[in-house]
Amino acid sequence: MSIGLTLLGLLETGPRHGYDLKRAYDEHFGQDRPLHYGQVYSTLSRLLRDGLVEVDGVEAGEGPERKRYAITASGVTDVRDWLVTPERPEPYLHSTLYTKVVLALMSGRSAQEVLDVQRGAHLETMRALTRRKLTGDLADQLICDHALFHLEADLRWLELTAARLDQLSEEVRR
């Protein structure tokens, strides 16, 4: 995910200091991977250089100066363009697992076992996500649901493949 565009999107709700921006990012999107301060400031200086944000004010404090950043008009355009550009669907698991299943069948191993093991692993992850969802806030629930639906799609493919193993087995041995 683009950190720069995400920070821009957060700035669209109002100007913020780098520290506030990091906190907002971590709260909404950084459950698994909070941002480092270094990442925040290097990203902000790049956005500043590209004219997507501007310094909205500087506060002198006991420590270093605190700059407040605001999004520019071209920053807003970039966020809008990003939001309406579809993400590339990535059939990553399908290809790896497909290869494994076909190789198992070609070498006379149990493809059913490959599928069963993968189902078990998927379900374990889905249980962990479900537990996290039950104790988490709304943002947690949304993130977990997204992951759960993806894993579910993988598993549905697994079930369908399991149902077609006999046919697949005949084809790869031909």
Partner 1 sequence: MTEPLLAAVDLHKTFGPTPALDGAGLRIWPGEVVAVMGPSGSGKSTLLHCLAGIIRPDSGTVSYQGTPLSTLSDVDRSELRRTEFGFVFQFGQLVPELTALENVALPLRLGGVRRREAESRAMEWLARLEVADVADKRPGETSGGQGQRVAVARALVTSPKVVFADEPTGALDSLNGERVMRLLVAAAKDTNAAVVLVTHEVRVAAYSDREVVVRDGKSTQVELVR
Residue from 46, 80, 109, 127 binding partner 1 (CB under 8 A): 127
Distance in Å from the first CA to the final CA of the chain: 43
Give the integer Cα–Cα distance in Å for 171 and 174: 5
Query: Is the CB of 2 or the CB of 130 nearer to partner 1?
Result: 130
Q: Does 138 bind partner 1 (CB under 8 A)?
A: no
| Interface region with partner 1, contact rule CB under 8 A, candidates 51-59, 60-68, 95-103, 129-137 | 129-137
Of 104, 84, 126, nearest in space to 172 by CA:
104
DSSP 84: T
The yes or no reply on residue 143 touching partner 1 (CB under 8 A) is no
Give the whole-angstrom CA distance, residue 51 versus residue 44.
Answer: 10
Burial class (CB within 10 angstroms; exposed 0-12, middle 13-18, buried 19+) of 127:
exposed
- Using CB under 8 A, pick the residue from 134, 142, 164, 170 that binds partner 1: 134
3-state secondary structure of 90: coil
Q: Whole-number minimum distance, CB 8 to partner 1, in Å?
A: 32
- The two three-digit tokens of residue 43, written as one number: 């990203």
| Ordered strands of the 16-17 beta sheet | 16-17, 66-71, 53-59
CB-wise, 55 or 153, nearer to partner 1? 153
Interface with partner 1, residue 122, by CB under 8 A: yes
For the CB of residue 139, give the shortest distance to partner 1 in the complex, in Å. Answer: 16
137 binds partner 1 (CB under 8 A): no
Greatest Cα pair distance, the chain, in angstroms, is 76
150 near partner 1, rule: CB under 8 A: no
Could you tell me the smallest distance in angstroms from the CB atom of residue 83 to partner 1? 24
Q: Decide if residue 36 touches partner 1 (CB under 8 A).
A: no
For partner 1, the binding residues (CB under 8 A) are: 116, 119-120, 122-123, 126-127, 129-130, 134, 148-149, 151-152, 155-156, 159, 162-163
